[in-house]
Every structure is written in C-alpha cells, then in structure tokens.
Structure 1
Amino acid sequence: MKKLFLIIGAPGSGKTTDAEMIAARNSDAIVHYSTGDLLRAEVASGSERGMRIDSFISRGMIVPIEIAIETITSAIKAAPSDVILFDGYPRSFEQMNELDKFLQHDTSIVLESVIEVVVSEEVARDRVLGRSRGADDKEEVFNNRMNVYTEPLSTIQAFYEEKNLLQKINGERSIDAIVDEMEAFIKTKI
C-alpha cells in the first residue's frame, strides 16, 4: 500500500526543497514528486500535452484537472517506494475533490497527511522574485500565482482539518529546522 503525503504552500514557501531533502535523507523508503516538476518536464519534452500545459503555466494559471490528476496518479502508482511526498497539490477545490474521489475508489493509496508549509506573502514574494527560473518569476505572474494559491486555501484547509489530516509547519525558519520537523512528523505516520 502506498502512503501519500501532500505538501502544500505558497509559491516560494520551500515545499519542494523540503520534500527533496527528506526524500534524499530517506532514499530507501521515501520518494518525492513535485507537481510543478512533472508538468515542467512534460513541457520540456515538447509534446502536444506539454504545449497545452505551457499555455497555462506561462500565465501562472492552474493546469486543467484531468491533466494534473493523470500526472499525479501515474507517478504515485509507478513510485519505486511506498511512501510518497507530493508537493504542489491540490491547488483548487476541484483538484481536492477529484483527488478525494480517486482515493476513495483506489484503496492501494492512503492519504496519510496534508502538510502546509506556512509563510507570509511578503516572504514568498521575496523568495520567488529573488530566484530566476523562468516566466513564473515575474511580479505579475507571482501575484497571479499567489491569488490562485490563496483563493481556495481556506476551503482546502477546512476540508483536510475535518478529516484530521492537516498539519501546519512554520516555513519561515531555517531549512534544517523545517525539514527536521517535517521528517519527524512523516516518520510518526509511517
């Protein structure tokens, strides 16, 4: 049985870096996937799907749900270990509902927890605009991405809190402190 941990947070919250470090420390037992990395890899492949994905990502918009769900569930099922950290998902009420429906029907995957890496908008903005990775680093696109993240956030939080699955972690500390806390929490669940 696959144990799934979703890691959510604002753009620039550090969620991908945190998950990568935990997976690297536990490479025999934990694998990490980033929705963004999976989607960017598809764009880089030059495929027709990649071009469709790029038309959304380049504007800071959410990729259509059917593409995101297909990408995520394929990666989970093909994962080389039973503990999967998946960051950057869900990013909308619809994505959350579709994933929930999928997990209700596929009993080979259990959602263990949703970990939210909490940072202020100011910290997120400073981090994102201070790095350069592409079109998503422009202020206008950052503002759009931040709105896309924050608009459904309270609904997503309430949904997972009701299921007793939401765990919040302060993302405004040193990377080591954040990663140590997140890793310790994950290990209590596996």
Structure 2
Amino acid sequence: MGTSVDAPAVVAEEVTDNVLGGKKVTVVFVLGGPGSGKGTQCTNIVEHFGFTHLSAGDLLRAEIKSGSENGTMIETMIKEGKIVPSEVTIKLLQEAMIKSENDKFLIDGFPRNEENRAAFENVTKISPAFVLFFDCTEEEMEKRLLGRNQGRVDDNIETIRKRFKVFVESSLPVIEYYSSKDKVKKIDAAKPIPEVFEDVTAIFAPYAPKV
C-alpha cells in the first residue's frame, strides 16, 4: 500500500509538461564560448524559424534600466562583483516568455552553470527541447574577438582568455548533462557563417513555420 506514495517523486525529476502561462512552450538553450558566433546565428534563427530570442544579459540590463526595485538590487550586486542569483534571472526569463505572444524561445547565455540549469528546470518546470552548442576552438574565437575589437574594452587577450576559462569551467558541465540525455546538438562554429547557418537550418527544420 505504502509504495505508491513515493512514486510521484521519481516522475518530478523529469520535466515534461513545458507549460508556462497556460501555453505549451518550446525552449532551446544556446551555448557557445565568447566569439563562437552564436549571436549572429540567433538572429538568423529568429528570422527564418520564428523563434523569440531571449538573452539573459539583455533582460538583466533592461531590468536595471527600468529603475525597478528588482533592477536596483541587480545593479548593486553586479557593482559589488556578486553573481546575480539564478532565481532572479529565471524570473525575468519566465516573465518574458509569459508576456510574449510566441511559444518558441531561444535562451541565450543561460544556463551559465549547473546550478542555473537545475534552478531553471525546478522553477519553470520546463526542460529544453535541446541545447544548441556552438563548438569553436579557443584559437578561432580569440582571433574573432580581437578582430572585432571595436570599442569593446574587455576584448584584450588576457580578458578573453579569462572569459574562455569561465565558459569551459561553468558551461561544459551543463553541456555534458544534456549530452547524457541526448539533447545536445553540436555545431562546428569555426566554419564560415553561411555554412554554420546551413547546419543550423538542418537542426531547426522541424520548427519551420508552416506555410
């Protein structure tokens, strides 16, 4: 008799309903090191496949700019060099998805680490359809970042290498976690932009808007 009580706990582990604000949503996490070209490809995916692009960083910046109490708190944390709690970022992502007319989302630059990932699934009860991983050598990313160094003060060699290190240490465990669930679609991001987009198109074909 007593065994049935424990059963739901196992089910709760795997998030499957993916319903938010009364609508079923498709979420794709976009991960890739700095300079892997994910921003360019996100723009293409939005244009060709009708996804809404949500950047965790942009949402935090917009919240700070709004002057809300939440924004002030975020700004203070960033100024003090503290990490903004996962829940804060997740809440902003969640609100943006609920407010949107759309039901297909690219979430860019999040989850940054394993703790983000677990918190996202716990809070939203959403599991990504897949993770789009732009795989690129550090050498190539470095070359790109230095080449586009237009006004980005942080794009010097030392800072760039630090950003790579953070990416590898934090984001690779997330990629490994989703790989174990067969949810990572890896793209060779070192190729020229049009070729990368061909690979992206092949992955997103099932999501193409019905004509």
Shorter-chain TM band: 0.7 to 0.9
- Picking from 129, 133, 137, the partner of 1:112 is 129
Aligned residue number for residue 63 of structure 2 = 42
The answer to which of 74-83 and 158-167 deviates more is 74-83
| Residues 39-188 of structure 1 aligned to structure 2 (within 5 Å) | 39-45=60-66, 47-52=71-76, 54-55=78-79, 63-103=84-124, 105=125, 109-129=126-146, 130-132=148-150, 134-188=152-206
Q: Count the aligned residue pairs.
A: 181
Could you list the runs of 5+ residues in structure 1 that have no partner in the other structure?
none
Q: Which has the higher contact order (CA 8 A, sep 6+)?
A: 1
The answer to which of 144-153 and 12-21 deviates more is 144-153
Tell me which amino acid in the other structure corresponds to 2:204: I
Pairwise CA RMSD of aligned residues? 2.5
Q: Alpha-carbon deviations, 1:128-169, whole Å to 9, x = none?
A: 233335444243332332121100344212210121111100
Q: What TM-score, normalized by structure 1, do the two folds share? A: 0.81
SS of residue matched to 1:143: helix
Tell me which amino acid in the other structure corresponds to 1:188: P
Contact 1:12 1:128 in 2 (8 A): yes
- Measure the CA separation in 2 of the matches of 1:141 and 1:112: 33
Tell me which amino acid in the other structure corresponds to 1:39: L
Q: What TM-score, normalized by structure 2, do the two folds share? A: 0.74
Percent of residue pairs bearing the same amino acid type = 28
Contact 2:111 2:171 in 1 (8 A): no
- Could you tell me how far 1:117 is from its partner in structure 2? 0.3
- Could you tell me how far 1:8 is from its partner in structure 2? 0.2
With over 3 angstroms needed to count, the CA separation of the structure-2 counterparts of 1:135 and 1:72, relative to structure 1, is farther
- Measure the CA separation in 2 of the matches of 1:128 and 1:62: 24
Tell me which amino acid in the other structure corresponds to 1:132: Q
- Measure the CA separation in 2 of the matches of 1:41 and 1:141: 25
- Measure the CA separation in 2 of the matches of 1:186 and 1:173: 18
- Could you tell me how far 1:35 is from its partner in structure 2? 1.9
- Measure the CA separation in 1 of the matches of 2:150 and 2:61: 15
Larger radius of gyration: 2
The answer to which of 174-183 and 92-101 deviates more is 174-183
With over 3 angstroms needed to count, the CA separation of the structure-2 counterparts of 1:139 and 1:186, relative to structure 1, is same
